[in-house]
Amino acid sequence: MEKIDLLILGSGPAGYTAAIYACRANIQTVVYEGLQPGGQLTTTTDIENFPGYPNGISGQQMMEEFKAQAQRFGADVRFGFATKVDFSERPFKVLIDDEKWVEANAVIIATGANAKYLGLESEEKFRGQGVSACATCDGFFYRKKNVAVVGGGDTACEEASYLATLCNKVYMIVRRDVLRASKAMQERVLNTPNIEILWKHQTKEIVGDDMGVNGAILVRDGKDEVKIDIDGFFLAIGHHPNSDIFKEWVDTDAEGYIITQGKSCRTSREGIFAAGDVQDPTYRQAVNAAAAGCRAAMDAEKYLSENR
Ligand code: NDP
């Protein structure tokens, strides 16, 4: 079985920053990129709030630069994702792509989080045929059409603003009579003429035919049913941390976020560290994930040097 000193799972800002720090500390480091190489930022529009890019940068480009920087210092970056782990004893065992076990002296979990769905049958049925959780990835297909975005947070406002530049009309389906988003984002959507906010509306069903989505049935204020004609239905109701395979081995909170100790990235199991959106339900920003990746690498370095 292959033996690795430090194994990093995930290739978002947390994973690559951890790799940069670990490699510079002369630790043999392997990164498995996971299901979405580059992480969630590769599915977003321009990043305008990451320091060092005064003119903004596309998420895709930024993550290519993170990767190149990690590789420059010797990170072994590989395709593949962890499907099972056995953290019962050192060396820790990780199954990659359900076929290859590797062993590692320390592991940094930086597997991020994924978009949540409402849980409707019709949502499953039309996934990829009008239902999407990524406006940046799929907005292009709905140029000059009508679409809806569910949610009232910053993500929903961002997605709605982006779609408004492409689409004829964007409905925002908001379950309360307020937006959770920051003031700046609220103002942006409220001042965009082709965004209409449907306050106190919940989605009952997404409707369509062989060609895909053509509408949605909503319930207004828990009472009346309303039908809207749309071709695209975008989810923006939050995220679920990608921690399912680790829950047996490290402590998580009620929502599945991995619990880390104090300011460190140490989990409840010695030698296993977590960084980024998989352990941060609050400050889920690239710059925070990168900072956590740095801390995780420093924690791992200390652990490895004390446990040679
Ligand atoms: P949030 O958890 O902030 O918002 C989720 C939204 O979806 C809320 O409006 C919530 O409603 C609604 N919602 C949740 N479940 C359902 C449901 N079942 N049906 C209908 N509506 C539902 O998630 P975000 O992804 O928007 O943001 C996550 C974090 O990332 C936040 O801290 C945010 O500030 C940050 N962020 C920052 C950005 C930036 O700075 N550029 C961009 C994007 C995100 P309710 O309010 O009623 O609970």
Does 179 lie in the same domain as 133? Answer: yes
Does 197 lie in the same domain as 125? Answer: yes
157 CA from centroid of ligand 1 (Å)? 9
**Does 212 contact ligand 1 (Cβ within 6 A)?**
no
Does 291 lie in the same domain as 207? Answer: no
Does 178 lie in the same domain as 106? Answer: no
> Cβ distance 233 to 150 under 8 Å?
yes
239 CA from centroid of ligand 1 (Å)? 8
Does 210 lie in the same domain as 289? Answer: no
122: pLDDT strictly greater than 90 = yes
Does 280 lie in the same domain as 174? Answer: no
Q: What was the pLDDT predicted at 249?
A: 98
> Cβ distance 202 to 229 under 8 Å?
no
Which contiguous run of DSSP H or E holds residue 71?
helix 59-72
Is 294 part of the annotated catalytic residue set? no
Does 75 lie in the same domain as 10? Answer: yes
Q: What was the pLDDT predicted at 128?
A: 83
Confidence of residue 301 (pLDDT cuts 50, 70, 90): very high
Confidence of residue 231 (pLDDT cuts 50, 70, 90): very high
Does 229 lie in the same domain as 121? Answer: yes
Question: Structural domain of residue 9, as residue ranges?
Answer: 2-113+240-306
In three-state form (DSSP H/G/I as H, E/B as E, the rest C), the secondary structure along 219-248 is: EECCCEEEEECCCEEEECCCEEECCHHHCC
**Does 136 contact ligand 1 (Cβ within 6 A)?**
no
Confidence of residue 45 (pLDDT cuts 50, 70, 90): low
275: pLDDT strictly greater than 70 = yes
Q: What CATH number should be reported for the domain holding residue 301?
A: 3.50.50.60
Tokens describing residue 117: 């769905």
Which residue in the list 86, 137, 244, 251 is annotated as catalytic? 137
**Does 118 contact ligand 1 (Cβ within 6 A)?**
yes
* For the CA of 282, the nearest atom of ligand 1: 32
DSSP 161-182: HHHHTTSSEEEEE-SSSS--S-
pLDDT in tens, 147-166: 999 999 998 999 999 999 99
**Does 204 contact ligand 1 (Cβ within 6 A)?**
no
236 CA from centroid of ligand 1 (Å)? 7
End-to-end CA distance of the chain: 19
Is 137 part of the annotated catalytic residue set? yes
Residue 278 neighbours by CB under 8 Å, 6+ apart: 10, 14, 109, 110, 111, 112, 113, 241, 242, 243, 257, 258
Residue 281: what residue type?
P
Which of 235, 261, 278 finishes a domain?
Answer: 235
For all residues of the chain together, what is the average pLDDT?
95
150 CA from centroid of ligand 1 (Å)? 10
Is 134 part of the annotated catalytic residue set? yes
The mean pLDDT value for 100-114 works out to 97
Does 73 lie in the same domain as 169? Answer: no
Does 265 lie in the same domain as 230? Answer: no
pLDDT in tens, 276-287: 999 998 887 899
pTM of the predicted model as reported, rounded to 2 decimal places: 0.78
Of the two residues 88 and 308, the one the predictor is more confident about is: 88
Q: What was the pLDDT predicted at 44?
A: 66
Does 252 lie in the same domain as 178? Answer: no
pLDDT in tens, 216-226: 999 999 999 99
What is the domain count for the chain? 2
53 CA from centroid of ligand 1 (Å)? 25
Does 245 lie in the same domain as 155? Answer: no
Which of 189, 216, 235 finishes a domain?
Answer: 235
Which of 213, 235, 257 finishes a domain?
Answer: 235
**Does 281 contact ligand 1 (Cβ within 6 A)?**
no
